[in-house]
Homo-oligomer: A and B are copies of this chain.
Amino acid sequence: MSKESTLIAALRALAPHPAARGLQDDCAVLDFGGETLVLTHDMMVEGVHWLAGQDMADVAWKLVATNLSDLAAKGADPIGVLLGFTLGDDDTRFLTGLNEALTAFNVPLLGGDTVSANGPRTLGLTALGRATSRSVPDRRGASPGDTLWLTGPVGAAMLGFEALRDRTSADSTAFRRPTPRLPEGRALAPLVTAMMDVSDGLLIDATRMAQASNVTFAITSASVPFPPSLPPERQDDAMRWGDDYELLFTLPSGIEPPISAHCIGTANAPTASPVIVDGAVLHGSLGYTHD
């Protein structure tokens, strides 16, 4: 999940952090005890990050999955999570989903805190991981000539969200129960020049990577993977919708990824437009931005 915020930027300026490297990303990367620790903290708010009335088991799953997705983008093995939880009426469902996610991804709950509050509930999760590659990927390393890749389709979460919102019979799994690309991230980490998870939308996240790397990405829309159920006229929407948690990465020219992935474009010398699709500059909202 992305957290480009004015506040965090202001905090960074206020509080230097010599111990950390990789702070331009969603994760903190720290040398500790001869190894490299990767840390992330993401929040979810009722009515913002989940629909009021949504099954809290799915919310718990997503809270875990989105944080682990940040670790996946670093090629890190999860070590454990700390939970900040606002108590509610359906905590049993939350517990069920939390346990399902922790079991599915083999991650222990290390601790946390619970509070009571009136109003929309806020949840927070801190995830810790151990870097598996000496060079921990970030979004800054893409160079002109690199190829741009995506581990899987974008748009499935959008369709899932719409199914849930409109109470249709379409499959909402991709929105409710995303899968962090942990094995893929570990396999890719030693090879990529840049990597991040697509949490807010392909176009906005590609823009962020392009800006951080000082390149322009030329994306070919016909190469972008979409779910089979996506109507062709929704492909542009799908590139602007988030929540799919696939990995977006770049490789030096000629290097093939060791896992199944889709080459969707190339990195070129920077222009005024960080991302162009089918040769055209982008217009309109690029994707979803959380506060």
Q: Name A's B-contacting residues (CB within 8 A).
A: 1, 3, 5, 7-8, 10-12, 14-20, 23, 26-28, 30, 32-37, 39-49, 79-80, 82-87, 91, 95, 98-99, 102-103, 108-120, 122, 124, 126, 128, 130, 290-291
A82 touches B28 (CB 8 A): yes
CB of A118 within 8 A of CB of B120, answer yes
The one of B3, B44, B115 that contacts A114, using a Cβ cutoff of 8 Å: B3
Q: How far is the CB of A130 from chain B (nearest CB, A)?
A: 7
Is the Cβ of B1 less than 8 Å from the Cβ of A98? no
How far apart are the CA atoms of A46 and B120 in the complex, in Å? 13
Instruction: Find out whether the CB atom of A115 lies under 8 angstroms from the CB atom of B45.
Output: yes
A28 touches B80 (CB 8 A): yes
Q: Is A108 within 8 A of B42, CB to CB?
A: no
Distance, CA A213 to CA B184, complexed state (A):
46
B87 touches A28 (CB 8 A): no
CB contacts (< 8 Å) of A86 on chain B: these are 43, 45, 122
Tell me the number of copies of this protein. 2
The 3 closest A-B pairs by CB, nearest first: A119-B119, A33-B33, A17-B108
> Could you pull out 10 A-B pairs where Cβ atoms are within 8 angstroms?
A5-B113, A8-B111, A11-B98, A20-B80, A28-B110, A34-B35, A39-B126, A43-B124, A87-B291, A115-B290
Inter-chain contacts of A82 with B (CB < 8 A): 28, 39-41, 126
With most chain B CB atoms within 10 A of its CB, the pick from A18, A20, A41 is: A41
Residue among B19, B27, B111, B124 making CB contact with A40, cutoff 8 Å? B111
A40 to B113, CA, bound (A): 9
**Roughly how many angstroms separate A124 CA and B113 CA in the complex, as a whole number?**
9
A17 lies within 8 A of B120 (CB): no
Query: How far, in Å, is A29 (CB) from chain B's closest CB?
Result: 9
Across the interface, which residues of B come within 8 angstroms of A109, CB to CB? Answer: 11-12, 14-15, 17
- With A84-B41, A117-B120 known as contacts, the answer to whether A108 contacts B16 (CB < 8 A) is yes
- Cβ B126 vs Cβ A122 within 8 A: no
Complex contacts, A126 vs chain B, CB 8 Å: 39, 41, 82, 126
Q: Given A15-B102, A16-B108, 14 other A-B contacts at CB below 8 A?
A: A8-B111, A19-B80, A26-B111, A28-B82, A32-B130, A33-B34, A43-B86, A43-B113, A44-B115, A46-B117, A47-B117, A86-B122, A114-B291, A116-B291
CB <8 Å contact, B108 and A15 = yes
Cα–Cα, bound, A108→B46 (Å)? 30
How far, in angstroms, from A33 to B291 measured CA to CA in the complex?
35
Q: Measured between C-beta atoms, what is the minimum distance from A150 to chain B in Å? A: 24
